[in-house]
Structure 1
Amino acid sequence: MYVAVKGGEAAIDNAHRLLADRRRGDRSVPALTLDQIAGQLALGVDRVMSEGSLYDRRLAALAIKQARGDLIEAIFLVRAYRTTLPRFGYSEPIDTGEMLIERRISACFKDLPGGQLLGPTFDYTHRLFDPDLEGDPEIEAGERREPSAEPTTRIAAILGGEGLIEEDIDLPEQAAPGDINHTPVEFPMARAMRLQSLSRGDEGFLLALGYSTQRGYARSHPFTGEIRIGEVEVEFFVPELGFAVPLGRVQVTECQMVNQFKGSAKAPPQFTRGYGLVFGQSERKAMAMSLCDRALRAEELGEDIVAPPQDQEFVLSHCDNVQATGFVEHLKLPHYVDFQAELGLVRTMRAEYAARESVTQPDMQEAAE
């Protein structure tokens, strides 16, 4: 039972003022600007956009500043704002094959068509503190390479040419993929809607689940087929015009995992796919998403469901950090009546226990004599 709380407005106002004071920090230090956050804390901004399910770098930067760097609180702010926005329709499916690629790697083929593009990554850095960053060092700008606009062959297409990997599922042209914002959750959930949930799911939760699949808590032996980071064009079909018009470009990270499959009565031995796509540069999240996507396809592929990452209800009901935060943090709200009821029950049980002990102790003493 939740209890209505009266009064306390002055205390709450003071808490808000104290929060604002702590957010500002030392007044002798210049305040952070949104441009600084968006430009220098870009990976945090990308995560907030992805899990907040709203692509707007400035709003994500504002949310991070308001939340004092608490990314889950910032995601909550973005998600709440998103619910106030009008919906005009759905964009056309993006074509990641036409991506302006900034980074592209594969763990399957060294000499893949189009080459490996390392891009900005921590992969090859030493995990050592850089004391030069304590100040504001002038970074020597390297030769800037424009993102590649040339279509590059996918690893899946190379394997598909030999029939070694399952084919992409071709949806009917008018088929609607579903929308988790408009459709009540029902299990089993279609893959398109599962991917929507995973795309805005909590990175840490999905990372732990993805890791567990590699430790034996699902039948998984993955290879990173391809990771792409770059910009894609977003288009919107305007019925009055009869054609789609471009709205702009967004940065996304796409991951295709390649997994073994022993085959079945309907399909020969081949590789299967796990897929991840998120806003911004967030390949760890995209990789974890693709591992979980593959694990959740267990029933579809005729595999036994033996581990949590293969259980749709477990994964999809718990991966949303906004929902999880609300349910966990509601425990901070007043539960006075509930606790008093529990306290009375425990006191009654202890009294009954003491009464039983007072009866059985003399009997035990007599038996001993």
Structure 2
Amino acid sequence: MVLEKLKQVPDPTYVHAGPLTDFVASLFTGAGMPEDEARLCAEVLVDADMNGIDTHGVCYNLDLHYLTGLLNGYINPAPNIKVTYETPGTAVIDADRGMGMIASVQAMELAIDKASKTGGMASVAVKNSSHYGAAGYYARQALSHDMIGFSMSSGGGRVIIPLNGRWPWMGTNPMAFAAPADKEPPFVIDMASSMTSYGKVSIAQAFGVDIPEGWAQDANGKPVTDISKRSEAIGQPPLGGDYDHGAHKGMGIAMMADVLGAVLPGETLSGMLLDNPKGGRFCHYFQATCIDGFRPAAEFKADMDDMLRTLREQESAPGAPDIQYPGHPDAIYFQKRTETGIPLPRHTVNYFKEMADRLNVEWTIPG
């Protein structure tokens, strides 16, 4: 399985979450960010690695999005983030072209606060932002408040090729939904609206692993599977790949992100957010739902335990691994990487060394 191959990091350097967070934060401060905001961004990225979401951790995105953006002027290192529109249950935040994590954490915190005051639901949209990392981080913010969390992001340049289209138009426009349980790991679905995240293709290229049909497509609508020919790919099809396999559904999810993250707060659509050389601006949407607004949260979480446990106890197909649900593998990765540390590929360590020298940051990564 290709996904399993992408988890097998060649020649890894293992670093625990604390030291890795400290080092990445120091790179961000070296690039001009205030210390508290730099640390928050580092924590969001390392959290993705701890949960096994390597596509949205520190290994590829510092170059693809964050440090490159900070050093080239299309991410604002010290943004003036402000609420531009607000009601008791909604708000719009202008991120001032800052790191997407900063405004996004604030937005979800605001949605949680508004939902707790009303005992119901609250939504906050963010515009004029940048890449915010793993969508699931923000959905999971709601869990400790006995709430259900939801997040979508729109933008980042043209990656998804519309169904029946020739050229890419939308970003990968991810969504995440998180619901708490009691004893079981929470249910957390975090997914792109394309066949796979753009980051998985980057990992495959770094590891020299060929990719399945549907991960990349050329200008003639043909799949690109030979990773050495990635330059021939112009984008990715929507989730589903083609009409017979449900690509209209992937298109719908991608367009939902555009509606909620872009049209609703008055931002530009994802395919038009192209004002920087490494992909465009981003916009986001966050929602918090107070479980106590429907019934006691303790009862809900007990029933979630029953549902999730019953699902996992179903019989597996012959030769197949155990049944899991979204969020369960994340908890396993978190426990494992708490013990072993996060495996960094050699090219990531080399990039870190290069940036530490450039930004005059102390080298604190072992190996």
Instruction: State TM-score, norm by structure 1.
Output: 0.23
Instruction: State TM-score, norm by structure 2.
Output: 0.23
Highest CA radius of gyration, 1 or 2?
A: 1
Greater relative contact order: 1 or 2 (C-alpha under 8 angstroms, separation 6 or more)?
2
